[in-house]
């Protein structure tokens, strides 16, 4: 009991804050009238599947987090957890891409893993869809793609991508 600040963070809605004074030991609050209807919308079961796929590291695979996210956007584009999912996806894609680039930097020219750089290129391509205004993502994507082209003996195309990556 006493003077307290009540803060409610509904999914997809604005934070509601209110100072309240409680006089009873146990108080029940009914927020039905003050919480926007959108905030009480149930999340799609795909949300849990996407989070689980990210946790397992299955991000760009055919049945991974990205494919599930695309399905969610087709089926429930107004998903209340969309922003949170996109933040998690961005983090997972960035981590996947950066790990591959870091491994390349630490390896010798003959030992680098082309498949890992291919996955980095894919991760950065998908990340760009979530964050199209970030120039660093495009530079990293072009770098990884150029290294894949080099491994395929396509030097001219690779050089063109590398030049674009530093502009």
State residue 117's pLDDT score.
84
In angstroms, the CA 114 to CA 43 distance is 38
Per the structure block, which two tokens stand in for 111? Answer: 């030992």
Token output for 108: 């010798």
120/41: higher pLDDT = 120
Q: For residues 39 and 12, is the Cβ–Cβ distance under 8 A? A: yes
pLDDT of residue 41: 63
For residue 20, the cross-strand partners are 4
Measured CA to CA, the distance from residue 98 to residue 88 in angstroms comes to: 15
Over 60: is that where the pLDDT of 80 sits? yes
Query: What pLDDT, in 10s, does the model give residues 98-132?
Result: 888 787 777 765 566 788 888 998 999 999 999 99
On whether the pTM is more than 0.85, the answer is: no
Q: What pLDDT was estimated at residue 102?
A: 81
């Amino acid at each position: 009991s006493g003077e307290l600040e009540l803060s409610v963070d509904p999914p997809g809605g604005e934070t509601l804050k209110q100072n309240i004074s409680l006089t009873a030991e146990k108080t029940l609050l009914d927020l039905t009238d003050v919480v926007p209807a959108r905030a009480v919308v149930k999340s799609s079961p795909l949300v849990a599947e996407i989070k689980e796929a990210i946790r397992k590291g299955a991000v760009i695979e055919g049945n991974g987090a990205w494919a599930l996210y695309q399905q969610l956007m087709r089926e429930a584009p107004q998903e209340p957890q969309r922003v949170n999912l996109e933040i998690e996806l961005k983090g997972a894609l960035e981590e996947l891409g950066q790990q591959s680039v870091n491994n390349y930097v630490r390896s010798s020219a003959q030992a680098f893993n082309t498949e890992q750089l291919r996955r980095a290129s894919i991760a950065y391509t998908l990340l760009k869809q979530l964050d199209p205004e970030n120039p660093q993502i495009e530079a990293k994507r072009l770098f990884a793609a150029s290294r894949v082209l080099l491994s395929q003996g396509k030097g001219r195309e690779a050089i063109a991508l590398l030049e674009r990556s530093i502009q």
